Amino acid sequence: MNQKIIDLFDEFTHGVMPRREFLKRLTVLAGSAVAAQSILPLLENNYARAAILPEDDPRITARRESYKAGDVEITGYWAQPAKKSGPFPAVMVIHENRGLNSHIEDVTRRVAAEGFVAFAPDMLSPLGGTPDDSDKAREMIYSLDGAETLARLKAGLEHLRTLRGTTGKVGVVGFCWGGGMVNRLAVADPKLKAAVAYYGRQVPAEEVNKIEAPLLLHYGGEDKRINAGIPDYEAALKADGKTYEIFVYEGAQHAFNNDTNEARYNKDAADKAWGRTIAFFKKYLG
């Protein structure tokens, strides 16, 4: 697909561009309204495809759970190994800017199948939870107070540390918006044991000295918007002697791990990144 079209969609999903303006510009790039309408399903997520690991897979058990963050209840999706007795190390899974959906639930099950307690909080819980309308979810995400949301995620990490059935060793993985939150949590939580960010916005260089957790950072080679922040981030990590790994997957787009998005999913990059992610968690969480 034309890279300009993918870049336009990225601008739409991560900015404040109205859908009408996006469709207008897509029509120009596609050459006609008919062509634009044929391209649109390839750009948007199709959650009917979100079943790499089905919910009834015998290796895991899954359910809805919640925790308190101050006076707010955060609901989410919980999965853990089915046939082994704990305790297990825990991994928080942070969703993209479209909220907690079936794709992230699938990712959570995949983490659990590797021997972890996995929990994906719905950070739109204070606003009534993730809606079915993805565009509405995106608007809701960007209405959240950043510091407040970070504190709620940090409370979720502490909840996983103190829960019966976990070892107290907790890591975090996030995608897109969630990847940016992973970088911020690495700064905010010195007890974090491992942090994996997929194409997440970096923190300012002056905050890197606060990071204690080992970092694994995945980026798509075509993701110019996010990749612009890599040099300063890596320079700061290196200067402060932090433990980190950075992988840039050439030819891959932003959101290359999301298998429900036909235009941006890159199986080769996603498989390599996933293998590295699980190995990283097993190394640092035990």
What are the tens digits of pLDDT across the range 39-51?
887 777 776 565 6
Q: Both 147 and 38 in a single domain?
A: no
Positions of E strands within the chain: 60-69, 72-81, 88-94, 117-121, 166-175, 194-198, 215-220, 244-249
CA angle 92–96–102, rounded 5-degree value: 80
For residue 73, list its beta bridge partners: 68
- The answer to whether residue 48 is domain-embedded is no
CATH number (domain holding residue 237): 3.40.50.1820
Of residues 248 and 263, more confidently modeled: 248
Single pTM value for the model: 0.89
- Tell whether 66 and 37 lie within a shared domain: no
- According to DSSP, the residues that pair with 219 across neighbouring strands are 248
- What pLDDT digit, counting tens, does each position of 207-228 carry? 999 999 999 999 999 999 999 9
Catalytic residue among 10, 103, 159, 176: 176
Do 32 and 72 share a domain, yes or no?
Answer: no
pLDDT, position 268: 96
Give residue 44's pLDDT: 77
Looking at the structure, tell me whether residues 157 and 234 fall in a common domain: yes
For residue 254, indicate whether it is catalytic: yes
Is there a domain that residue 49 lies in? Answer: no
Q: Which residues constitute the domain of residue 149? A: 55-285
| 102 and 33 co-located in one domain | no
- Annotated active-site residue 223? The verdict is yes
From the candidates 10, 189, 254, 259, which is the catalytic residue? 254
Quote the Cα angle for 249-50-57, to 5°: 110
Count of structural domains within the chain = 2
259 classed as catalytic: no
Catalytic residue selected from 10, 106, 189, 223: 223
Q: Do both 153 and 29 map to the same domain?
A: no
Q: Looking at the structure, do residues 33 and 108 belong to the same domain, yes or no?
A: no
Q: Does 24 lie in the same domain as 123?
A: no
Q: What SS3 class is residue 243? A: coil
pLDDT in tens, 220-251: 999 999 999 999 999 999 999 999 999 999 99
C-alpha–C-alpha distance, residues 180 and 198, integer Å? 8
* Residues 130 and 187 grouped into a single domain: yes
Q: Report the alpha-carbon distance of residue 80 to residue 221 in Å, rounded.
A: 33
100 & 124 share domain? yes
Rounded average pLDDT over 22-41: 85
Which amino acid would we find at residue 33? Answer: A
